[in-house]
Amino acid sequence: MSTETITTEVTKQQFDELIAKLMRGEPRDPEEMRKSRERMDFMREETRKRVGTVEVAVDFIRELRDK
């Protein structure tokens, strides 16, 4: 998996294309879905390596419970 940076404009364009397809009722491409899962898994693992496990939900729940 490459660590290349994807520009915001390219990402926005891909997102807009996906939304347009979904709104037209077109089926999602299984290969594209697989690639997306791989990218998300890679990014999640890289974030975990860089900052460790982030447990923000616990703090939010405690804050809400104490109100």
pLDDT 10s digits, 20-60 = 999 999 998 899 889 989 999 999 899 889 988 777 788 88
Q: Is residue 22 part of a domain?
A: yes
Q: Which two tokens stand for residue 43?
A: 């990014």
In this structure, the dihedral spanned by the alpha carbons of residues 34, 39, 42 and 45, taken in order and rounded to 10 degrees, is: -100
Q: If you average pLDDT over residues 15-22, what whole number do you get?
A: 90
Residue 2 located in a structural domain: no
* pLDDT attached to residue 59: 82
Asked whether the predicted pLDDT for residue 13 surpasses 90, the reply is no
> Are 13 and 51 in contact, with CB atoms under 8 Å apart?
no
Residue whose entry in the numeric block shows the structure tokens 């390219």: 10
Domain that residue 41 falls in: 8-65
pLDDT at 36: 86
Tell me, yes or no, whether 45 lies in a domain. Answer: yes
State pTM to two decimals: 0.54
Domain count, the chain: 1
* Position 41 in a domain: yes
- Please tell me the predicted confidence (pLDDT) of residue 8: 74
